[in-house]
């Protein structure tokens, strides 16, 4: 029994390197969102002029609420758990907006693991305490935050062509990837 536990623990990093991402979003009204999440958005994004769009999301068996909006010329996505506790903030960026050393490390990963690749979307992901995340938005402070890069990309290897979501640390070093499974309802039906 003890050796089985050791084997499982030693294999867990390998399992986390190639998971699947199956995600479904449904547009909802703000009155369906936990009040704690609404209050946090009101405090952090107090000067926002654009409309906030709310979504209920199911991803790999977990549920969350997500607020999407344009703020200071960037597209923001703020995720909350079902009780309204903030989980993370993601901000969409362009490749040329990343620091040169981050781009170089991410580029090295792609070139050494894929014959061909194309980036679909880059998001800078911020996690941390809810007060520190609020300070990021309303005071532009980065104190005590974990910064990651979440990149959706098409990757071609000798064996397959797939769409992936890669997670990279604040220096652009690879952490893990998940295959994105497209929901058939994402297609147009006539």
Domain range list for the chain: 18-185
Instruction: Provide the mean pLDDT of the chain.
Output: 88
Q: How many CB atoms lie within 10 A of CB 26?
A: 10
Q: How many CB atoms lie within 10 A of CB 51?
A: 9
User: pLDDT value at position 61?
Assistant: 85
The residue with tokens 């994004």 is: 45
Query: Does 9 score more than 50 pLDDT?
Result: no
Decide: helix, strand or coil at residue 6. Answer: helix
pLDDT in tens, 38-87: 999 999 998 787 799 999 999 878 999 999 999 999 999 999 999 999 99
The answer to whether 119 and 98 are in contact (CB under 8 A) is no
User: pLDDT value at position 4?
Assistant: 37
User: pLDDT value at position 92?
Assistant: 98
Query: Does 5 score more than 50 pLDDT?
Result: no
When pLDDT is averaged across residues 168-180 and rounded to a whole number, the result is 97
Report, in angstroms and rounded to the nearest whole number, the Rg of the chain calculated over CA atoms.
18
Query: Does 19 score more than 60 pLDDT?
Result: yes
Half-sphere exposure of 113 (CA within 13 A, CB side): 17
User: pLDDT value at position 1?
Assistant: 46
In this structure, whether the domain defined by 18-185 belongs to CATH 3.40.630.30 is answered with no
Q: What is the pTM of this model?
A: 0.83
């Amino acid at each position: 029994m003890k050796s089985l536990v050791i084997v499982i623990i030693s294999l867990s990093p390998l399992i986390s390197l190639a998971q699947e991402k199956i995600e479904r979003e449904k547009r909802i009204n703000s009155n369906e969102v936990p009040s704690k999440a609404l209050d946090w958005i009101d405090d952090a994004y107090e000067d926002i002029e654009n409309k906030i769009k709310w979504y209920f999301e199911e991803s790999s068996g977990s549920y969350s609420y997500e607020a999407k909006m344009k703020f200071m010329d960037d597209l923001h996505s703020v995720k909350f758990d079902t009780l309204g506790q903030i989980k993370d903030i993601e901000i969409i960026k362009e490749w040329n907006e990343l620091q040169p050393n981050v781009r170089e490390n991410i580029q090295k990963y792609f070139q050494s693991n894929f014959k061909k690749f194309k980036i679909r979307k880059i998001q800078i992901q911020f996690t941390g305490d809810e007060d520190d995340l609020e300070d990021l938005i309303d005071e532009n402070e980065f104190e005590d935050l974990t910064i990651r890069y979440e990149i959706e990309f098409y990757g071609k290897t000798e064996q397959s062509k797939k769409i992936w979501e890669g997670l990279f640390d604040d220096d652009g070093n690879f952490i893990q990837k998940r295959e994105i499974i497209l929901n058939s309802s994402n297609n147009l039906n006539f």
